[in-house]
Amino acid sequence: MRIEAAIAARTSFRLGEIEVRFDGPVAVVSGPPGGDTAPVEVSLEVLREFVRADDHGRYRPLPGARTLPHGWEVRCASAGELRTAIDEVYPLALQHISQHERGDLRVVALDDVLQRQSGRYALAAGLSGKGREAACRALCSRCVRTPSWQEGTLPEEAIPCPEACSVLIALCREAALWESSPPAPSPANPTLPFAQFEAPGNEVREAYLAAHFAAPPPGPVQHRPARRR
């Protein structure tokens, strides 16, 4: 039990974009470093609201997005507070890591998630296999979680994603519409709302369009580690 063992032994660890270190009786959770300035101290009570916006004040509907604000820390007086702090930043991540390590993480295939949608999202199931791959590349590569529902081996330090999230479902829905009438690409504009996929310039939309309709983009997205269920 990697994280639980580290908490019990009070040894530092990283999880996604956060780092946990122990300072005497206190556990310190810190966000990505903010340069030369000392980190801002954030209380556990306001942490959830604090991490809901990125450095530019843009709403983060996907808690796993690699857009945590920089330069902050939370001081936790107990292991319970530390778990709460981690859960505020990455909801259910600790449970999913433990379940994965025990071998009882309930994993749901992407197709099952898409097939069960109704109403506005029923369209998502119509996305082709190639479209689904491009959607995962465009979105999941921006997330600290690693899909357990894809083939391959989960890296040791991964936060498993047991089931496609609502943001991916929303992207698959838009992408299914794009397959019938492909939109023209636009320059990516990282100030647009993260999940407003219908907006030309949305960074995830443009990454998808580049992956699906043009030559695949270069970079780490192409070389994700192999995953295991």
Partner 1 sequence: MARALVLAGHGSHLDPASSRPVHEHALRLRARGTFDEVRCAFWKEEPPLSRILEACDADDVTIVPVFISNGYFTRTVLPREMGLTGPISHMSGKLVRYTEPVGSHPALAEVIVERALEAGAGPATGVAVLGHGTPRNPESERNVFFQAGLVAKMGHFAAVAAVFLEQEPNMRDVFQRLDTREIVMVPLFVAEGWHVGVSIPMDMAIGAGELRRDDRTLRFAAPVGTHPLLAGVINDLASAAAAWR
By CB under 8 A, residue 95 contacts partner 1: yes
> Token pair of 196, please?
């407003």
Residue type, 61: P
Which of 195, 204, 209, 211 is in the footprint of partner 1 by CB under 8 A?
Answer: 195
By CB under 6 A, residue 68 contacts ligand SF4: no
What is the C-alpha to C-alpha distance for residues 30 and 74, in angstroms, rounded to an integer? 6
Q: Residue 72 Cβ, how far from partner 1 at the closest point, in Å?
A: 17
Q: Binding to partner 1 (CB under 8 A): which residues in 100-129?
A: 106, 108, 116, 118-119
Q: Residue 91 Cβ, how far from partner 1 at the closest point, in Å?
A: 4
Which of 51, 114, 168, 192 is in the footprint of ligand SF4 by CB under 6 A?
Answer: 168
Q: Residue 172 Cβ, how far from ligand SF4 at the closest point, in Å?
A: 10
> Token pair of 9, please?
């032994």
Cβ proximity of 92 and 86 under 8 Å: no
Cβ proximity of 101 and 1 under 8 Å: yes
Q: Starting at the earlier edge strand, list the strands of the sheet with 40-41.
A: 13-15, 18-23, 26-30, 72-76, 40-41
- Window of 58-66, 122-130, 131-139, 150-158 that interacts with partner 1 by CB under 8 A: 58-66
Residue type, 213: F
User: DSSP label at 25?
Assistant: T
- Window of 42-50, 93-101, 135-143, 218-226 that interacts with ligand SF4 by CB under 6 A: 135-143
Which of 82, 134, 147, 204 is in the footprint of ligand SF4 by CB under 6 A?
Answer: 147
What is the C-alpha to C-alpha distance for residues 93 and 53, in angstroms, rounded to an integer? 19
Ramachandran class of 211: left when φ > 0, alpha when ψ lies in -120 to 50, beta otherwise? alpha
Which of 154, 161, 172, 211 is in the footprint of ligand SF4 by CB under 6 A?
Answer: 161
CA 195 to chain centre: 13
Nearer to partner 1, 72 or 194 (CB): 194
By CB under 6 A, residue 171 contacts ligand SF4: no
Binding site for partner 1 (CB under 8 A): 48-49, 52-53, 59, 61-63, 91-92, 95, 106, 108, 116, 118-119, 162-163, 165-167, 170, 193-196
